[in-house]
Structure 1
Amino acid sequence: MPRQVTTAQLPRSVRIGYGSGSVATGAFGTVPGLMLLPYLTDSLGIAAIVAGFIVFLPKAWDVVLNPIAGRISDRTIDPRGPRRPWLLRAGLTLSVSFALIFAAPEMGSRVAEAAWVVVAFLACATAYAFFQVPYVAMPAEMTSSYDERTRLMTWRVAILAFTIMLAGATAPVIRDAVGGRAGYRVMGVVMALIIAVGVVSAYVGTRRVPVGTVEAGPGSLRDQLRIVATARDFRHLLTTFVLQALATGCMLAGVAYLAEDVLDSTGAATVLFVCFVGPALLLTPVWSAVGGHVGKKAGYVASSLILAAGAALSVLAQVAPVWVVFAAVALVGVGYAGCQVFPMAMLPDAAAVDARRTGSNRAGVYTGVWTAGETLGLALGPGVFALVLAIGGYRSSTSGEADVAQPDSALTAIVLGFSLLPAALTLLSLWWLSRYSLDATEVDA
């Protein structure tokens, strides 16, 4: 079993250093979900249903790859620690491959250009798996304190929220300022540089992280996955998180369409995104304090209900004043902040309890399965939203702008895919969350 830190608190420098890795995860997790589907449908002229498959395919590959990446990181032996080398190796590869996604040259063939995106996105997804899985595994080994993990996740989610807002708000602005496919290329390079900053900051910032030697659990990867699958609390927590990732993926994919086609304003995309993420910058510490008083599970339920309420209210987008839509999305953001803090703090609890019970460390496998589930949810989100668009009769174009007149059925599909569908998924997830049972008494035992 790995040696773990038992001090009540980690140094602030370690919290900030670890949290800075969310700059990379926030940019990668946000921009493709926000920009890739419009890039495919409105710049490359690819049909919505095909574009949805293109967005989903590389992420589906990650679902298979993430547990393997976790097992490899569990068995990595390096003077810098078992996880940190992967932050730098995979993180810089992630940065370069991200820029290539939006850099497809004009080949005179939609098939060839679509293939470029698929290959670049596959490379990007592979690198992300080997960065994200070791990164998420670290908190279970950095501290054995139930409350300290919440504090650690507070920094991580705050930085994540800032990055999501920065990347999500500026990516459309950069694209529109340059214009056309060149706008997407420039945007891709800028986001790649942001990812690189997060990667290097996390690697340097965790150089003094107090993590002991990892002793990987015995048996094959299949044996480890079988054991993890029997962890009841982890399984329920994961199902909750995956369904909410699916809901978030639908909303992210719908931002550009809601702004340009329903609200008839390209600038509204940035406002919507700030409304969605902005509250997290202010409320992440508040949700952390709430968790300290009522427990992580109760806080997670409350934040989920708020997120669902805001999403449901967004159904008024076609008839209500625009400020009502912005307010509804801000309410989503209030809930989203808690829906990031709590599960991220509960995951290392589940992994640490398993390690204490069995004497074997499976943190990498746990986080591999976790990130595979999160990736699946976020990948299915745009795919499901694209399916809703196709059912609604959405019309693609090659102009780089959403200037094609859309039928009323397509506008209705955009609104429903952005509002009621995510709300229903979030409420559905609470059935599994109600079955989660770990609390401070058992984790700190």
Structure 2
Amino acid sequence: MSATNVDDMAVPSARRISWLEIFCYALPPVGAGYMFCLVTLYTMKFSTDVLLIAPALMGTIYGLSRFWDAISDPLVGYLSDKTKTPMGRRRPWLLGAVLPTVLFFWMLSAPSEGLSAGMLALWMGVAIIGFFSAQTMFIVPHMSLGAELTDDYHERTKIFAARHAGWIAGYISALGTMYFLILAEGKSETAVRTLNADQSLFAGLFAASCLLVCVWGLRERPEFADKAPEKPWEAAKDIWKNSHARLLLIVIFIENLGGAAITILTLYTAQYVMNAPEMAPFFILSYMVFSLALTPLWMPLAKRFGKKRLWLGSMLSTAFAFGCMITLEPGMEIRLLVLAGIAGAAGSCGGTINPSIKSDIIDLDEYRTGERKEGAYFAAWYFVSKSAYGVTLMITGFALSIAGFVPNAAQSATVIWTFKGLYAGAPFFAYIIGAILFSTFNFDENEHKKVIAELEAKRGKK
């Protein structure tokens, strides 16, 4: 890049996003967040406690879904970049995700009664792999669309803040459903099956409506239509050669090794460490409420302090919150609620600033290669985050087995400290290491202005 003083540049004013566009963009994550919460927090319990599928078999199914992700994520990213239709590159994928999302979520929630054990496991296996595939069809093109809506360094933060708020709102709604599902388990198998099936139909219709509104309300930028990568392996090479993207791949993987703890271990921590299983939804709710409430702060704070410093601060705050959880004992519910709130507030910053920074890096890639491959980039980052979740799930299973965990029984001191180490120690070290690595990131607003000025100059010549 030419050594040009940013202050002397005539940087074109990037397109501003209307609030109607932001609303249309943020709506689908409400439905997706609702579904994702139930699938990640409740489906395992529903499968083992209600459907009576062996935990090891369910773990194998989830593991197989991660192997499939290694194929589906980059494939969807590349094909999304290459798609050419009058609707654009991303919206056809959002439209195509409607039916599989509704179908596979219903399958997860309403398996047919009377199936043999083998057929029931097959049903759930198809449903889980199908659901996560449908989520990839939605999430990768949707994130890519957000990056394409504007080149403005701070408008992007507004876009992804709205997306994060929508996702968390869906998550909070799902916690209410999960609470009633748990109550229904105490009544009868029929009660919980009926409630789960009913909520899946309403959730499916809502999620489909949200996707259709997004497809109808947004328009794509036509100048990106002919800038797709030619070969998928070349796109992968470009991502790895981009030092900023490569750093984020590593940081995101390490972060998610720790961040998966709240999804995997909160129910266990509430029951076996705190002796308060009924408080588990409230611990998660504390995290989500603070995550949602503080989302509007990150755009003005990013303008004042910069995206890097803000995200770095959120990593350190998250490390502090989880690290303090090592002190938890029965009767300390208030302490856990407070620490969960701190972690949620910090996580809200990461959920907003993280994709905004990723979008800036994609602009740099266009400057270097002349291609727009948001799909390939977001697919790589999404796969890394899901892989970290799978690794954490595997480590948790082995660690608890070695420690001597016994379900629904009083645990030994070894098991209790294993829970604490996994729930508090692992996230603490993961976020500290992630923060140290991310402190070397050096693609800031001034560098981005240079890139956009050069890109606008090139676009103007065509």
- TM-score, with structure 1 as normaliser: 0.89
Match of 1:172 in 2: 179
What letter corresponds to residue 63 of structure 1 in structure 2? A
1:400 corresponding residue in structure 2? none
Structure 1 position 303 matched with structure 2 position 314? yes
**Structure 1: which 5+ residue stretches go unaligned?**
397-402
Of 223, 226, 230, which aligns to 1:215? 226
Give the whole-Å Cα distance in 1 for the aligned partners of 2:145 and 2:189: 39
C-alpha change, 1:41 and 1:370, in structure 2 (3 Å) is same
Is residue 2:38 matched to residue 1:27?
A: no
> Relative contact order (alpha carbons < 8 A, sep ≥ 6): 1 or 2 greater?
1
Q: 1:91 aligns with which of 94, 98, 102?
A: 98
In 2, Cα distance between equivalents of 1:15 and 1:137: 14
> 2:206 aligned with 1:190, yes or no?
no
Residue 419 of structure 1: SS of its match in structure 2?
helix
Q: Which residue matches 1:382? A: 393
Query: Could you tell me how far 1:82 is from its partner in structure 2?
Result: 1.4
Question: CA distance change for structure 1 residues 118 and 31 in 2, over 3 Å: closer, same or farther?
Answer: same
Does structure 1 retain, via aligned residues, the 8 Å contact 2:161–2:351? Answer: no
| Partner residue, 1:372 | 383
1:30-429 equivalences in 2 (<5 Å): 30-44=37-51, 50-105=57-112, 112-179=119-186, 181-182=189-190, 183=192, 186-187=195-196, 189-191=198-200, 193-194=202-203, 196-213=205-222, 214-319=225-330, 321-396=332-407, 403-429=408-434
| Post-superposition CA distance 1:285-338 (Å, at most 9, x none) | 112222111111110111111111111122223355211111111111111111
The residue type paired with residue 236 of structure 2 is: L
Question: What amino acid is aligned across from residue 433 of structure 2 in structure 1?
Answer: L
**C-alpha contact 2:81 2:89 (8 A) present in aligned 1:** yes
Q: Deviations over 1:119-164 (max 9, x none)?
A: 2101112211111111110122110111110111111111122112
* Residues 34 and 172, structure 2, Cα contact 8 Å, conserved in 1: no
Alpha-carbon distance, 1:42 to partner:
3.9
Alpha-carbon distance change, 105 to 201 in structure 1, aligned in 2, over 3 angstroms: closer
Instruction: Return the index of the structure with the highest Cα Rg.
Output: 2
Q: CA deviation at 1:279?
A: 0.5
Preserved contact between residue 240 and residue 433 of structure 1 (Cα < 8 Å):
yes
The runs of 5 or more residues in structure 2 that have no matched partner are 1-11, 451-462
Given residue 388 of structure 1, which amino acid in structure 2 is its aligned partner?
A: A
Q: CA deviation at 1:198?
A: 3.5
SS in 2 for 1:146: coil
CA distance in 1, matches of 2:193, 2:180: 10
Contact map agreement 1:395 1:404 (CA 8 A) in 2: yes
8 Å CA contact retained: 1:145, 1:444: no
CA contact (8 A) 1:27 1:191 kept: no
Q: What secondary structure, in the 3-state scheme, does the structure 2 residue paired with 1:172 have?
A: helix
AA matched with 2:363: A
Residue by residue over 1:272-295, the C-alpha shift from the partner in whole angstroms, topping out at 9 and shown as x without a partner, is 111111101211111222211111
Which whole-Å deviations, capped at 9, do the CAs of 1:160-201 have from their partners, x for residues lacking one? Answer: 221122213432332323545552663365256435423432
Identity %: 21
CA distance in 1, matches of 2:64, 2:145: 28
Question: Could you report, residue by residue, the CA deviation over 1:211-250 in whole angstroms, capped at 9, with x for unpaired residues?
Answer: 2232243432112111111111011112222222232222
Q: Which amino acid aligns with 2:184?
A: A
Query: Paired residue for 2:458?
Result: none
1:353-411 per-position Cα deviation (integer Å, ceiling 9, x unaligned): 21133221111111111221222223333333333332332335xxxxxx444444433
Q: 2:460 aligns to what? A: none
| Separation of aligned partners in 1, 2:280 and 2:200 | 17
Segment drifting more, 312-321 vs 74-83: 312-321
Aligned to 1:399: none
- Pairwise mapping of residues 11-26 of structure 1 onto structure 2 (< 5 A)? 11-26=18-33
Letter in 2 for 1:89: G
**CA distance change for structure 1 residues 276 and 324 in 2, over 3 Å: closer, same or farther?**
same
Q: What letter is aligned with 1:158?
A: A
Shift of 1:37: 3.4
- Residue pair 2:270, 2:280 contacting (<8 A) in 1 also: yes
* Structure 2 letter corresponding to 1:148: E
Distance in 2 of aligned mates of 1:325 and 1:147? 34
CA distance in 2, matches of 1:191, 1:229: 40
- For residues 52 and 398 of structure 2, the distance between their equivalents in structure 1, rounded to whole angstroms, comes to 16
CA contact (8 A) 2:274 2:330 kept: no
TM-score (norm 2): 0.86
Which of the numbers 429, 435, 440 marks the counterpart of 1:435? 440
Q: Is the CA contact 1:6–1:143 (under 8 Å) kept in the aligned structure 2? A: no
Deviates more, 1:217-226 or 1:382-391: 382-391
Say whether the 8 Å CA contact 1:171–1:187 is kept in structure 2: no
Q: What is the DSSP-based 3-state SS (H/G/I as helix, E as strand, rest coil) of the residue aligned with 2:16? A: coil
- Cα contact 1:35–1:253 (8 A) shared by 2: no
User: Distance between the aligned counterparts of 1:299 and 1:108, measured in 2?
Assistant: 52
Change (3 A) 1:371 1:296: same
- Please tell me whether the aligned partners of residues 321 and 339 of structure 2 are also in contact (alpha carbons under 8 angstroms): yes
Decide whether aligned partners of structure 1 residues 172 and 92 sit closer, same or farther in structure 2, where only a CA change above 3 A counts: farther
Residues 100-136 of structure 1, C-alpha deviations (whole Å, 9 max, x = no match): 1243456686555433322210111221111111111
Aligned pair count reads: 435
